[in-house]
């Protein structure tokens, strides 16, 4: 790994060191969106096999140095940018717009009642989805980099120092806090916790996937996705940066400079399979397959039950490709030039591609309706793209 730049982890509201160091998300080896990253592979022409349509698009605030993703609840879309402006759209039409009153660093998480965003000062702000009026605010221990997870059980927030907080959905009171010893060096990432069954799942530095009890935050189960290895601290970074994926009894996660692994929740978290593969962007599951983008932008299709390779698409190498999403038999990824690529679920071949505003797409793509995918670019465009 070359051209590494180490940044101190800033405690919320101060410049005090927390005792650990993070690898900046501007580092080439970890963040391919860096301007000095390897040159993007030029795109090759192909004959489109499906038709694409931009159903609607709208402008929101730019992301700046952060990652913002839209939230989809029914037919409503909520989106925000670093400038603190939050918007609600229904069928592409803006319903309301509010100003959070301060710059934001993460968002949006939402359910039918409430949406949540975070700030670099560790504030968690919530608003009513009906009209955008403030509901409550809470505080975490450092900057909020990942989207808050909003569910009926509460609002789960990951702070930049890798602590997990659960706040009461009604009044914002803190229900519990989970913290664990952290590595001396870790990636500054934006993987959000997720709700599933009676647990909150989150990945951590050192390659650990943890299930926390929803009622009290106690660790119920710990899965080892990857173990640090190597001669130097940098070589030993093996962090789970992206959110895990859950479908039924199976949960899967991937670590940077590590492995991808799947576990059976019905068997006490027993490992089903693992294989060497490095990713800082994430993965997706469907009924038969698992799809993942590695650190070089190569997209893989794997057998979900065994981890065996089915196909790989390497013609997007070094294009700063994000995590995949699966829609209607298509695997969809976005790249650092704001281009959305539709691949065949069965063999990874190109089916179609769609340009947006030319700025990088760092946020995970979202499913919208029965046939559309929702994208938010770093430049502040939110677009719904439908395959026909």
pLDDT in single tens digits along all 388 residues of the chain: 333 333 333 222 322 333 444 444 433 444 444 556 688 999 999 999 999 999 999 999 999 999 999 999 999 999 999 999 999 999 999 999 999 999 999 999 999 999 999 999 999 999 999 999 999 999 999 999 999 999 998 999 999 999 999 999 999 999 999 998 876 676 777 689 999 989 999 999 989 999 999 999 999 999 999 988 877 878 778 899 999 999 999 999 999 999 999 999 988 899 999 999 999 999 999 999 999 999 999 999 999 999 999 999 999 999 999 999 999 899 999 999 999 999 999 999 999 999 999 999 999 999 999 889 999 999 999 999 999 8
Q: What is the pLDDT of residues 125-152, one digit of tens each?
A: 999 999 999 999 999 999 999 999 999 9
Q: Where are the alpha helices (DSSP H) in the chain?
A: none
pLDDT of residue 7: 32
Residue 206 Ramachandran class (φ > 0 left, ψ -120 to 50 alpha, else beta): left
The pairing of strands 245-247 and 339-344 is unpaired
* Average pLDDT score, the chain: 89
Q: What is the pLDDT of residues 334-368, one digit of tens each?
A: 999 999 999 999 999 999 999 999 999 999 999 99
CATH class of 203-280: mainly beta
Distance CA 150, CA 143 (A): 18
Which tokens is 311 given?
């196909």
User: Is residue 208 a contact partner of residue 222, using CB atoms and an 8 Å limit?
Assistant: yes
């Amino acid at each position: 790994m070359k051209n590494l730049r180490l940044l101190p982890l800033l405690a919320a509201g101060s410049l005090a060191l927390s005792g650990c160091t993070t690898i900046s998300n501007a580092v080439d080896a970890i963040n391919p969106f860096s301007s000095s990253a390897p040159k993007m592979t030029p795109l090759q022409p192909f004959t489109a096999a499906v038709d694409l349509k931009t159903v609607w698009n709208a402008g929101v605030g730019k992301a700046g140095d952060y990652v913002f993703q839209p939230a989809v609840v029914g037919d409503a879309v909520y989106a925000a940018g670093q400038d603190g402006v939050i918007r609600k759209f229904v069928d592409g039409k803006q319903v309301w717009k509010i100003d959070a009153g301060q710059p934001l660093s993460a968002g949006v998480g939402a359910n039918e009642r409430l949406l949540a965003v975070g700030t670099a000062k560790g504030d968690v702000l919530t608003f009513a989805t009906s009209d955008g009026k403030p509901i409550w605010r809470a505080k975490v221990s450092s900057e909020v980099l990942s989207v808050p997870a909003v569910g009926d059980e509460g609002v789960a927030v990951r702070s930049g120092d890798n602590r997990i907080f659960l706040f009461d959905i009604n009044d914002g009171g803190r229900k519990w806090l989970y913290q664990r010893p952290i590595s001396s060096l870790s990636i500054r990432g934006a993987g959000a916790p997720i709700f599933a069954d009676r647990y909150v799942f989150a990945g951590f530095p050192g390659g650990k996937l943890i299930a926390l009890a929803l009622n009290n935050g106690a660790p119920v189960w710990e899965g080892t996705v990857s173990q640090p290895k190597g001669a130097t601290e940098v070589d030993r970074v093996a962090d789970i940066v992206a959110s895990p994926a859950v479908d039924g009894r199976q949960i899967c996660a991937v670590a940077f400079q590590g492995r991808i692994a799947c576990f059976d929740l019905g068997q006490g978290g027993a490992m089903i399979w693992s294989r060497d593969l490095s990713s800082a962007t994430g993965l997706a599951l469907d009924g038969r397959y698992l799809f993942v983008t590695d650190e070089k932008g190569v997209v893989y299709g794997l057998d979900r039950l065994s981890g065996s390779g089915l196909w790989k698409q390497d013609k997007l190498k070094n294009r700063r490709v994000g995590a995949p999403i699966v829609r209607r038999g298509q695997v969809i990824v976005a790249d650092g030039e704001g281009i959305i690529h539709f691949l065949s679920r069965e063999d990874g071949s190109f089916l179609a591609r769609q340009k947006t505003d030319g700025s990088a797409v760092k946020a995970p793509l979202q499913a919208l309706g029965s046939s559309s995918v929702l994208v938010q670019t770093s430049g502040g465009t939110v677009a719904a793209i439908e395959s026909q």
